[in-house]
Amino acid sequence: MLYEKYLSASLVAIGLLRFSSALEPLTIMSIGAAAAAAGAGWFKFDFLKKHTYCRFNECCMVPYLKNDIDGLSRKLKRNLFGQHIVQDTLISALMGHLNNIESSSKPLVMYFDGTTGTGKNYVTDFIISSFYEKGINSKYVLKFAADLWITYPSHEVTSKLINNVKEKIKECKYSLFVFDETQKMPNGALDALVPLLDHHSSSLEFDYTKSIFIFLSNSAGIEIANRLKDLITHTGRLREDTKLVDFEEITELAGFNIIGALKHSPLITSKVIDYYIPFLPLEEGHAKQCIQAEFENYCPRRMTKEKINEVSKLTIKLDDTGMFQVHGCKQISKKVEAMCYT
């Protein structure tokens, strides 16, 4: 049996060598090394795959799977403003998942909630670019946009989601799934995910325990903003002193009670969501930080105080209390882009 395994491996390597005349010298050397390894008796299939197919195609292994926590932390510190709870909670949650991933009994499941423009998609994109070499174009990343499913019956959405998730997990058990604007999805559309997200969610064919699921919503945005106002005005606490525990319960309750895919959903009652992460409403100072960051990204040499103030006038609109920016940083990037050419 062992002899047959090595013989088969050798034949595969020899077959690859037949096509090597049209390849680069470095590629020929890699294939030759694989063939030599097979002939030497210590060949392993992963070695052959890594040095041939996976040099030109994305595979479920390093370097395509980066898991760059340090890089993610730097991106968040440099680009995310006013979200100390997000930064602290997210990094520790991801580190815990990765450090124990081979013995994990369930996937990491996170729920991001907050008002528009507070950074939910922004942060999600940073996670994707830090974990996958090809970023959002990775075939191991699947993002479901609610707008594409809003007219479909719940059972059709559920069927499509489950099939897509299973296909990705079969390709790579370290896949990442994002469900954007869950408040717009049909009620009950996500309920069938519960067995996949619970403990010991693996079988002979599918292993979900190494994956990450992220749900995005603005269902609790108003509740989070009101809670922060109360903590600041009635208890005298500083924004930076608030913690996850101050918002986690209201974020969970809002998801459960407000219309959308999670209304009265077993995704919440079954406790498969590990973290309810609140994105706090932004203040005027945070919006100005966003404006400066966008100038640094697009045209740092054109950045002036006058241009920053001009974009501020166009984009900053505070709510009735005068505390929070209505649209967060949502409408800033395009205004900055225009300023780069004036």
Give the CATH number, domain containing residue 193: 3.40.50.300
Pairwise CA distance, residues 246 & 231, whole Å:
9
Contact 199, 163 (CB under 8 A): no
- Residue 275 in domain: yes
Q: Does residue 86 share a domain with residue 47?
A: no
Nearest to 197 by CA among 270, 131, 256, 137: 270
Q: Does residue 333 share a domain with residue 187?
A: no
Residue 196 pLDDT = 94
**Domain count within the chain:** 3
Q: Tell me the mean pLDDT per 10 residues along the chain, length 342.
A: 42 42 46 49 62 89 96 95 97 97 95 95 97 97 83 79 94 96 86 92 85 95 95 93 96 86 89 97 96 94 93 94 92 93 84
Residue 23 pLDDT = 45
Q: Does residue 265 share a domain with residue 296?
A: no
Residue 203 pLDDT = 75
Q: Does residue 73 share a domain with residue 9?
A: no
- Residue 62 in domain: no
Residue 45 pLDDT = 58
Q: Does residue 126 share a domain with residue 146?
A: yes
Q: Residue 114: left (phi > 0), alpha (psi -120 to 50), or beta?
A: left
Q: Does residue 80 share a domain with residue 39?
A: no
Residue 228 pLDDT = 97
pTM value?
Answer: 0.84
Residue 16 pLDDT = 44
Final residue before a domain boundary, out of 249, 279, 309: 279
Q: Does residue 121 share a domain with residue 8?
A: no
Residue 18 pLDDT = 42
Domain residues for the domain of 258 are: 69-279
The SS3 assignment for 253 reads helix
- Residue 60 in domain: no
- Prior bond of 63 cis (ω within 30°): yes
Residue 28 pLDDT = 45
- Alpha carbon separation from 248 to 115, 131, 276 (Å, rounded): 15, 26, 6
- Residue 63 in domain: no
Residue 3 pLDDT = 39
Q: Does residue 80 share a domain with residue 211?
A: yes
- Residue 78 in domain: yes
